[in-house]
């Protein structure tokens, strides 16, 4: 089998109830609950800050500057899936635009995450389709190279397997391994409860220096006050 030119159609996905449950939490909370891991590199951001994304990953490895396999991935994805497209950080071509967005929406695709570039951002925003990318670029792509769909990829600093859960908002994108989602949700709930208590204590006059033991740290490492 040539793994550079391969499509896997059937993958295990995070269950819809878990997808709904994790939507309640910001990407940063999920990252912290996951033990400070799973965050994609900082440059992967939504084309509009109001955009949120959540769903199982359909992973795509595309040749830089070519979007043939990305077209195919739209028709491999199932409703609720998030297309995660690794372009090797190639941003000198906008491989995704309004026509592909319309096709993806018709299929029920939940959004796109990529280390590459897209174009037609105003039209896409108007369609309400969430896209998280590295850049915008009006330059054209070719349609002549194969790639892979639903095989592991390493993109923007993280390993992403097909079926892993993708969560994104204005702060960035976090990926959670499919088998870890249930306990990460529970940890996220615990974290939000703890932060709510901290917020209340701050309103009552406590300081972050007290609550997090920071005064002791400052003293230990030699801070001097005059």
180 assigned ligand-binding residue: no
169 assigned ligand-binding residue: no
Half-sphere exposure of 169 (CA within 13 A, CB side): 11
Nearest Cα residue to 164 out of 61, 48, 82: 82
Nearest Cα residue to 198 out of 188, 184, 210: 210
8 assigned ligand-binding residue: no
Q: Does residue 86 sit in helix, strand or coil? A: strand
| Separation CA 158–CA 203 (nearest Å) | 38
119 assigned ligand-binding residue: yes
| Separation CA 33–CA 37 (nearest Å) | 9
Q: Are 131 and 44 in contact (CB under 8 A)?
A: no
The two structure tokens encoding residue 170: 């204005």
Residue positions forming the annotated binding site: 97-100, 119-120
Residue positions forming the annotated binding site for Mg(2+): 120
Residue positions forming the annotated binding site for substrate: 97-100, 119
């Amino acid at each position: 089998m040539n793994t550079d030119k391969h499509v896997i159609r059937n993958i295990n996905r995070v269950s819809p109830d878990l997808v709904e449950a994790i939507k309640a939490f910001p990407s940063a909370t999920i990252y912290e609950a996951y033990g400070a891991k799973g965050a994609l590199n900082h440059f992967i951001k939504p084309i509009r800050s109001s955009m949120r994304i959540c769903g199982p990953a359909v992973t795509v490895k595309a040749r830089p500057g070519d979007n043939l396999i990305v077209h195919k991935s739209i028709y491999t994805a199932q409703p609720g899936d998030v297309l995660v497209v690794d372009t090797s950080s190639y941003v000198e071509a906008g491989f995704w635009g309004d026509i592909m967005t319309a096709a993806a929406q018709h299929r029920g695709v939940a959004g796109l995450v990529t280390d590459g570039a897209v174009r037609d951002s105003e039209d896409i925003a108007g369609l309400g389709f969430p896209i998280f990318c590295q850049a915008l670029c009006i330059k054209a792509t070719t349609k002549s190279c194969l790639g892979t769909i639903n095989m592991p990829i390493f993109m923007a600093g993280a390993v992403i397997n097909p079926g892993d859960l993708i969560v994104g908002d204005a702060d960035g994108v976090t990926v959670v391994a499919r088998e870890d989602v249930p306990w990460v949700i529970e940890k996220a709930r615990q974290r939000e409860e703890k932060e709510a208590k901290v917020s209340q204590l701050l309103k009552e006059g406590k300081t972050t220096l007290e609550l997090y033991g920071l005064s002791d740290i400052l003293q230990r490492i030699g801070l001097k006050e005059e």
